[in-house]
Structure 1
């Protein structure tokens, strides 16, 4: 993309300074309003995940687009969010900025502003944190003869924070209790699939999460629900060693073992050194772009089944008419379950985005936002704007 005018850069810098100064006096999850009276009290809560493709090619570009307030792609993403109105939303592929800078601009300039007549949406609480994408390792991980390329970072990325993620919530986030797993080393997972022959001496330095894994507790009434957020690497863009496929498998496995808790999770340690997984009986919603279809695509066999088969959760299996009508690849996974519109014929449309609640949360509704061609909202989908992924939501009863 072409560079922005100098005046726009100056505007962004001024906003960064202002927002940074404001954030320094607030907790990381604070947003436009921390007034407890603004917190909804509904017994039905909508959880959603959306890989919104809010990533940019260079550091600082997303903040510029957020500050402008008129970026068509961001506006389309915001309209999709407004149309579906989730109470808790994980956004994958949202470039990371410290102190919620880009997050605050997104809330203020897009979500809080009606997009083509839709009802604005307010998220008083947000959580974001550093991720591994674009963070240099100083090693030639992709064997291209250099140590400073996107394939040499702990997670593929052109700059630190590219393809990050953020949790937006209408309910309070217990920031002090958040657990992150950015620095967990791949080698420390028992029986891992790490391709040591490919990585050689670099193998022991590799982090498992291509972005990060988060446990973000939110408070709904008197109940704590753990939002388990992640975005494993795609199982593609590699060679016969299948380094991305095996990493995708083990990233998903980390979530499965964390959900299992107990002895299965004793090997897991978070970024402050605390070991173990979810407490027994904890309420949770596992969500995110897992880059793994149950049957199709390039995943290692059984990858997403590691989570789907956990007895602690249920699979609402959200569907859409749009995906059912569009599919033409002859896949095994039913087309109406697809959540991403990828290139035909390979890999084709896939189910890769999931919102899976613990068994104690009763599901009352679910859907994939994929309106059929020619119907209301279909113009928000590619090939025009927004993302190649679809927003996926479920409604659960919280008592």
Structure 2
């Protein structure tokens, strides 16, 4: 009987451990600065915005967190300084992942066709300097960086059914030579495996899409935003290599509200309605579902955490922050 009892206790304990929810979150911190090294400087001194962002993350207590608008540098000093601040606040993330984004990388070309070179619009992704407004992934659990897949270098023309802009006479925008070199991702698109305590690999798919505004009649940014969103559906279809195996979660800033503002609404609607994903529709403490408030547009929903269909969602929410116009969006899941 002792043996049977021990087995039952073990099975009960294992079941309890499996039932422990995992909190996944995304947060556009808006910490990006206007020059290289400025964010690192502010992380190392008393800064009200930094303190407010750190406090928001501390309150969220996420197990896996995607962070947008965190400037990237080659030696990852900014990321390590950010991790250290979080640890001092009681929110330790021993594992981190960040790759060089397209943001701010000079192309040497006139990408927007305005006859001027070297502008932020002429970088592969908008930016005043290399790595401005980058993306990072923080995790309590091991990140398998050597098995990560990045689509940051994907040429726009290689996306199936792409919506690349055209000139008024119907040719490639701004011309055929430049269009053939354009990258789709404005910052990063990743699939990063995270090993959970039970040994399961959770595929974390993360991005930060371009805003669908600040362009001309060619709708360059609107079309780019749509294709950055639709890239995920092509990945799930297996048309850009092996489809990610569930369980997975897609999270980040899509810069597109399904009902309000600029942008191709069919793109974000298709993503939210795809049967391979589920949309928990998180709300804040006041039952509001918007994730950002801009003075020019008002409240909009642009930040998302979308677990794969086979995962069980146990709770979700939005934490407002004094450090960012964006709220931190979180979802609790379990298998």
Is the TM-score greater than 0.5? yes
| SS of the residue 1:98 aligns to | coil
Matched, 1:309 2:273: yes
Among 75, 82, 89, the alignment partner of 2:58 is 82
Normalising by structure 2, we get a TM-score of 0.89
Among 283, 289, 308, the alignment partner of 1:358 is 308
Normalising by structure 1, we get a TM-score of 0.75
Tell me the CA shift for residue 43 of structure 1.
2.5
Among 57, 63, 88, the alignment partner of 1:113 is 88
Paired residue for 1:193? 163
Tell me the CA shift for residue 84 of structure 1.
1.0
Contact residue 261 and residue 278 of structure 1 kept, 8 A: no
Separation in 2, partners of 1:76, 1:395: 23
- 1:15-56 CA-to-partner distances (Å, cap 9, x unmatched) read xxxxxxxxxxxxxxxxxxxxxxxxx98731100000001211
* Ranges in structure 2 where 5+ consecutive residues have no aligned partner: 1-16, 168-172
Among 133, 149, 158, the alignment partner of 1:179 is 149
Deviates most, 298-307 or 357-366: 298-307
Contact residue 292 and residue 351 of structure 1 kept, 8 A: yes
Tell me the CA shift for residue 239 of structure 1.
1.5
Contact residue 90 and residue 287 of structure 1 kept, 8 A: yes
Separation in 1, partners of 2:310, 2:164: 35
Matched, 1:138 2:108: yes
Runs of 4+ residues over 3 Å off in structure 1? none
Separation in 1, partners of 2:298, 2:113: 29
Q: Which has the higher contact order (CA 8 A, sep 6+)?
A: 2
Contact residue 95 and residue 138 of structure 2 kept, 8 A: yes
Tell me the CA shift for residue 168 of structure 1.
0.3
Tell me the CA shift for residue 62 of structure 1.
1.2
Distance change (3 Å), C-alpha of 1:169 and 1:42: farther
Among 198, 201, 205, the alignment partner of 2:181 is 205
| SS of the residue 1:209 aligns to | coil
| SS of the residue 1:192 aligns to | coil
Paired residue for 1:7? none
| SS of the residue 1:105 aligns to | helix
- 1:176-206 CA-to-partner distances (Å, cap 9, x unmatched) read 1101111100011122110132321311110
Paired residue for 1:52? 29
- 1:45-83 CA-to-partner distances (Å, cap 9, x unmatched) read 100000001211001111112223x22111110000011
Tell me the CA shift for residue 241 of structure 1.
1.2
Separation in 1, partners of 2:232, 2:255: 14
Give the RMSD, CA atoms, in angstroms: 1.6
Matched, 1:255 2:232: yes
Contact residue 166 and residue 218 of structure 2 kept, 8 A: no
Paired residue for 1:5? none
